[in-house]
Amino acid sequence: MAQKTLLNGRVLSFTGSPFEVEPTEAVKISEAVLIEDGHISAVADADSLRSDHPDAKVVDHGQNVIMAGFVDAHVHYPQTAMIASWGKRLIDWLNTYTFPEEMKFGDPAYASEIANLYLGLTTAHGTTTMCSFCTIHPESVDAFFAAAQQRNQRVVAGKTCMDRNAPEGLRDTAQRAYDQSQALLENWHGIDRLSYAITPRFSPTSTPEQLEAMGALWAEYPHCLMQTHLSEQTDEIAWVRELFPETRDYLDTYEKFGLLGSNGLYGHAIHLEARERDRLREVDAALIHCPTSNTFIGSGLFDMNGLMRDGHRIGLATDTGGGSSFSMLRTMAAAYEIGQLRGTPLHAAQLLWLSTVGSARTLRMDDCIGNVAPGMEADLIVLDLASTPAIAQREACADDLWEAIFPTIMMGDDRAIAEVWIAGQRVSN
């Protein structure tokens, strides 16, 4: 008989999108969640669940909040060691910090070391699923998937493909990118909780031939995700115009080669033109908001309100290591601050939804992760709403749950993560 575990606390579930109704109306608070065989089998009041399942192990979390683990929709795990590097714009930042670090990932031992370090750090911050760029080295993909498989985590990742405008040790070719990506996809995709994403880094580092090869690969495996970057900085956009003078705009450099589709994930998407916004919505592509990265390297202010109003699917991401934190709480705080600068501050329920259901939707995984509901996989976190003296004194005078949660979003870190459960197993304090 499978072990049953009953977690008592304030269980937060989403019944709809807080961007489509009054935010608090999209949330349901229950008393307990029952975990069985790696899945959520029931969410109800504590007494009835205890009565119906007297054999369940009970873990009482008092007034702590139990919710879905965070889903980080755009990261670069190989940038773990150089996170928070000082003072560069995107292109210089890549050349100065990112590319030298990524050169190291042809070494399987180093790739494994960083993969395990990254997954440990993010688990401590309450992130249970992420979608990661690797490096051009197949070893970097193998290391990441092996580390996640050992933890039974649901993750997405792919070999980053580049054949120009990068150091020689980080360039492949159109054919090699295709062949290695296909081999990795065939080896890992759908194994346990692992998914492969076809991963051209961005248009400036791929020739038209390589973009065409990646589009051809995606056409052969349309069920897979495809991840890349789009319209992150104005000087990047100007560079794209120089490299692709025949295209209508940045998005067209992907569209022309078969890299625009409903399973596409487009990181940043800050400086979109009207045609780009319309086409992304038409194909139901996903946009990934990376607020700490956007402010840290001076990219710009994402139009959350306008894009949500127009019907785009949007997820939230740390963008490690362009982003300056492994924490989705810090990422939510940055998203709130950017909303304030645009005159449209986000409600706490909207921020939590973006970091769970919203990001899971962008990964096409909202049927199994990102929410607390029967049948979902039991990737859960427990939030301590009084994790530091500063947060505790603010939470103590809160008038309602949302006023109590908001200080943890704005000031919380890994100390706010009281427990993490992955696939029904407790993995962290």
Please write the tens of the pLDDT for every residue from 272-296: 999 999 999 999 999 999 999 999 8
Terminal-to-terminal C-alpha distance of the chain: 26
Please write the tens of the pLDDT for every residue from 10-28: 999 999 999 999 999 999 9
Least confident residue range of 90-99, 105-114, 115-124, 410-419: 90-99
Could you give the CA distance from residue 139 to residue 159 in angstroms, rounded to a whole number? 9
Does residue 68 carry a pLDDT above 60?
yes
pLDDT of residue 94: 80
Please write the tens of the pLDDT for every residue from 161-170: 999 999 999 9
Domain 4-69+371-428 has CATH 2.30.40.10: yes
The average pLDDT across 48-75 equals 97
- Residue 196 pairs in a beta bridge with 157
> Model confidence at 145, in pLDDT bands (50, 70, 90)?
very high
pLDDT of residue 92: 80
pTM: 0.97
**Residue 295: half-sphere exposure toward Cβ, Cα within 13 Å:** 16
- pLDDT averaged over every residue in the chain: 96
pLDDT of residue 58: 96
Does residue 178 carry a pLDDT above 60?
yes
Query: Percent of the chain having pLDDT more than 90?
Result: 93
Within 8 A by CB and 6+ apart from 388, the residues are 411, 412, 415
Could you give the CA distance from residue 286 to residue 7 in angstroms, rounded to a whole number? 33
**Residue 257: half-sphere exposure toward Cβ, Cα within 13 Å:** 25
- Read off the amino acid at residue 16: G
Please write the tens of the pLDDT for every residue from 200-211: 999 999 999 999
Q: Is 63 helix (H, G, I), strand (E, B) or coil?
A: strand
> Model confidence at 86, in pLDDT bands (50, 70, 90)?
confident
Q: Are strands 225-230 and 286-289 parallel, antiparallel or unpaired?
A: unpaired
Could you give the CA distance from residue 106 to residue 109 in angstroms, rounded to a whole number? 9
> Model confidence at 428, in pLDDT bands (50, 70, 90)?
low
> Model confidence at 307, in pLDDT bands (50, 70, 90)?
very high
- The torsion angles phi and psi of 45, rounded to 5 degrees, stand at -75, 150
> Model confidence at 1, in pLDDT bands (50, 70, 90)?
low
Structure tokens at 58: 């009970």
Cis peptide before 412 (omega within 30 of 0): no
pLDDT of residue 51: 96
Q: Which of 271, 330, 265 shows the shortest CA–CA distance to 299?
A: 271
Q: Which of 229, 128, 224 shows the shortest CA–CA distance to 184?
A: 224
Does residue 255 carry a pLDDT above 70?
yes
Residue ranges, comma separated, of all CATH 2.30.40.10 domains in the chain are 4-69+371-428
336 φ/ψ sector (left φ>0, alpha ψ -120 to 50, else beta): alpha
Helical H segments across 342-381, by residue range: 348-353, 359-362
| Alpha-carbon distance values, 42 to 33, 45, 53, 337 (Å) | 6, 10, 10, 36
Q: Note whether 301 and 341 are within 8 A (CB).
A: yes
Q: Which of 239, 173, 168 shows the shortest CA–CA distance to 206?
A: 173
Domain 70-362 has CATH 3.20.20.140: yes
What is the 3-state secondary structure of 305-339? HHHHHCCCEEEECCCECCECCCCHHHHHHHHHHHH
Residue ranges, comma separated, of all CATH 3.20.20.140 domains in the chain are 70-362
Does residue 127 carry a pLDDT above 90?
yes
Within 8 A by CB and 6+ apart from 331, the residues are 72, 290, 291, 292, 316, 317, 318, 323, 325, 355
Please write the tens of the pLDDT for every residue from 228-247: 999 999 999 999 999 999 99
Could you give the CA distance from residue 266 to residue 73 in angstroms, rounded to a whole number? 10
Please write the tens of the pLDDT for every residue from 350-386: 999 999 999 999 999 999 999 999 999 999 999 999 9
Does residue 389 carry a pLDDT above 90?
yes
> Model confidence at 91, in pLDDT bands (50, 70, 90)?
confident
Could you give the CA distance from residue 156 to residue 227 in angstroms, rounded to a whole number? 10
| Alpha-carbon distance values, 75 to 257, 277, 293 (Å) | 24, 23, 10
